[in-house]
Amino acid sequence: MKAVIQRVSKASVTIDKQEVARINSGLLILLGIVNDDSEDDIKWLSNKIVNLRIFSDATGVMNESLLQIQGDVIVVSQFTLHANTKKGNRPSYIQAAKPDVAIPLYETFVNQIQADLGKTIQTGQFGADMKVELINDGPVTIIIDTKNK
């Protein structure tokens, strides 16, 4: 499981010109899933994300977590995070899990991060053509791969 975590001052997701998610201060999480991802990966990743100290404290130092600031979250599925670009110019997405595997893991991740954060989060729509807008705060962008714990 791979996540690109972006600290945002605001973010939104639009599908077919309809806004489906909007947040203010918090995280936009782009989530890529492979076939051998498991519930252990989900638990580890969710815990890591909600406790990452990447928000500024009163002195301007990145010392507070999403959990501490009770920030908002949007999770967006993104199979292209597992693109293989070694050969040629057309990326291969063969490593990305197919929907029958990925959707249940994606939904479990969303439920886990809601439980860890203690609040409802927002999402895009799995498999949809989404337009994602964000103001990256910092900018702070972190990539986490559960295969590199």
**Active site residues per annotation:** 78-80
Q: How far apart are CA 116 and CA 119, in angstroms?
A: 8
Element (H, E) at 46: helix 39-51
Inter-residue contact 34 to 20 (CB < 8 Å): no
Q: What does residue 100 show for φ and ψ, rounded to 5 degrees?
A: -65, -25
